Amino acid sequence: MIPFTEIKNAVMKMPPRDGNAYPYASEWTPERLLAMREAPHLQKLLTEIRREAQRAAEEPIPPLAFSLFRAFETDGTRKEYETPYFERRGRLLALTMTSVIDETDRYMGALHDLIWEMCEEFTWCLPAHLPVGVEANRASRRPPEQIVDLFAAETAHALAECVVLLAGRLDPWIEYRVRGEIERRVLRPLFDDPVPFGWESSMMNWSAVCAGAAGMAALLLVDDRERLTAAIDRVVRAMECFLLGYGNDGGCAEGITYWAYGFGYYVYYADMLHTVTAGALDLMNMPKVKRIAAFPAESCFSGTHYPAFSDADGSWMPTPGLLCRLASRLGMPVPELREMPSFHADHCYRWPTVLRNASWTDPSLLGRPVPDGTAVFDDLQWIVDRGHIGGMPTGFAAKGGHNAEPHNHNDLGHFILHAGGEDLLTDLGAGLYTRDYFGPQRYSMIHNGSEGHSVPVVDGCPQLAGAARRAEMLVEERHGNGALRIEIDATKAYDVKHLRLWKRKFGWECIPGSDRAALHVRDIFAFDTMPGHLEEVWISRLKPELGDGAVVWRGREATLSLRFEPEWFDAEAERLETLNHAGQPDDVYRVKLRAKRLEREMCFDFDFEITTNVG
């Protein structure tokens, strides 16, 4: 990516650090701060930030008690500890941003106390990311307070930017304490120890987030040029591994929310590195990075709606600061940016997301619709089609890939139908993160296992996990107003010895100006011996209505109907109660079509139609 000699030369030529000068000082001048306070597009966000700062000044700092710390070990649950942990980070963000943008010292006392408490935390690493149990931690080569996970690195970066942005205004003891804690907990364990953390070679979001956040803390606080050179080199190598997790198509197997998380920190770090080295080190101007940057605009259904494959969230509020920076730096198209996200849009209150939303958003890019189109991600084996019927946004997405992807779900051949701002047939996305969610029981959970996806159950067997469980996808591009045709061979998804073939064919029509969209699904099965059982499964959050050879799902603005051959199937609908990623109740409806007649070779046709709810 960038050789060490080039890094060293660039660092040695860096202009002298002006005390605690912030790399983006030109974005935080009194004139820019006044413009920010008066900017129409920022008013709602600034009101929320000021309200949160006032609350933080009036209410006690939420404690991180030992009983909360132990909850993950004893009960396998995370929310007890993580709720107050992230609230502290949200308070830090609100108090700092209000102090900087409003140019006020009104909340300095509350900020001092909060920072001191954060420096007193036993570890900045989440309990879910520590070795489980005291004996495992005793045996670890690093103590808990020196394990650098996502959130230890993020905390170091947030506190580093806080002390630099408020240089000369914080009590000297606070700045002294913060610098010492960041050194002890993050910089020395990561950059002074030759033994790498496991995430440094990870090809998913961890390598970019941990390295990027810790790397920004180093860019802000490390004065020794030799040491900074080594730190940058270490970060760059981790970023290389992160990029290896993407194919040449730029698609993110972890889904849109993890694109924003992992690639977001890649960009935040790359931009700061570019700034402090006066453009000498550029991690952005690469063809692959540009293709990754295009992923949100290419993969969206409409507005805030995206395919929720893997552990993604299908309803993602785009981060305008990040996307506007990509537009200005790389000339990339942006997805539809309807409005500024709420301060509370991210329950983790990630520092660079909110701060860059305020300072990097170009209001001229807000409110621009995304044109209809089809995106084919050949390496990822996704296809996303975006269109309109009767003026209503309508979309279709399907995936192949393999069942060992980051944040994997067993979902080869799965698909989504979307209309009017909601999924009619859906992907459930991420469930509530617990110890079991990332343990041996992962695929017994409806969010992750194939029985929670619109794919068959073959002879009583769901799909299995593993890199060998992979599909082959063939896409025939749409010509004129013709149907888009996709073929997915996912035979290898199942450990059914006598299954010789399962091939799923899609024919998707969403013709401009039409008042309907149609999807034809054909499932082709071939067995060496007679199967004993076969089910077709369709997943939705909408309650289905069963009829003779028909199923109907009624949404807010659109209705989805399915026609099938009743002589071949018995239909059954069941309601499943689960928890979504935020821990809130989530009702899921699973329609099962059980084959009444079985043969060694079978071909089933299913006709879906989306119509608008008019009148």
User: pLDDT tens across 227-265, in order?
Assistant: 999 999 999 999 999 999 999 999 999 999 999 999 999
pLDDT at 19 over 60: no
pLDDT at 175 over 90: yes
User: How large is the average pLDDT for residues 97-122?
Assistant: 98
Confidence class of residue 16 from pLDDT cuts 50, 70 and 90? confident
- pLDDT > 90 in the chain, percent: 92
Rounded to the nearest integer, the mean pLDDT of the chain is: 96
The partner residues of 384 in beta bridges, in order of sequence, read 375, 397
The rounded distance, in Å, linking the Cα atoms of 149 and 129 is 7
Q: What is the reported pTM?
A: 0.96
* Tokens describing residue 304: 């805030």
Chain segment 439-458, per-residue pLDDT in tens: 999 999 999 999 999 999 99
Domain boundaries, the chain: 4-365, 373-612
Confidence class of residue 479 from pLDDT cuts 50, 70 and 90? low
User: How large is the average pLDDT for residues 505-514?
Assistant: 91
What pLDDT was estimated at residue 615? Answer: 56
* Domains 4-365 and 373-612 alike in fold: no
The rounded distance, in Å, linking the Cα atoms of 256 and 310 is 10
CA distances from 275 to 25, 83, 161, 269, 362 (A): 11, 34, 15, 10, 19
What pLDDT was estimated at residue 211? Answer: 99
Question: What CATH class is the domain 373-612?
Answer: mainly beta
* Tokens describing residue 473: 């996808």
What pLDDT was estimated at residue 20? Answer: 62
Confidence class of residue 511 from pLDDT cuts 50, 70 and 90? confident
**What sign for the dihedral angle of Cα 276, 277, 281, 284?**
positive
Q: What's the distance, CA 387 to chain centroid?
A: 24
Q: What b/e string do you get for 144-175 counting C-beta neighbours within 10 Å, with b at 16 or more?
A: bbbbbbbbbbbbbbbbbbbbbbbeeebeeebb
What pLDDT was estimated at residue 420? Answer: 93
What pLDDT was estimated at residue 370? Answer: 87
**What sign for the dihedral angle of Cα 241, 245, 251, 254?**
negative
The rounded distance, in Å, linking the Cα atoms of 588 and 527 is 31
Chain segment 362-373, per-residue pLDDT in tens: 999 999 988 999
User: How large is the average pLDDT for residues 45-72?
Assistant: 98
Domain 4-365 has CATH 1.50.10: yes
User: How large is the average pLDDT for residues 311-318?
Assistant: 90
* Tokens describing residue 395: 């979309």
The rounded distance, in Å, linking the Cα atoms of 375 and 297 is 10
What pLDDT was estimated at residue 193? Answer: 96
What pLDDT was estimated at residue 614? Answer: 78
Chain segment 559-575, per-residue pLDDT in tens: 999 999 999 999 999 99
Chain segment 516-574, per-residue pLDDT in tens: 999 999 999 999 999 999 999 999 999 999 999 999 999 999 999 999 999 999 999 99
> Around Cβ 68, how many Cβ atoms within 10 Å?
18
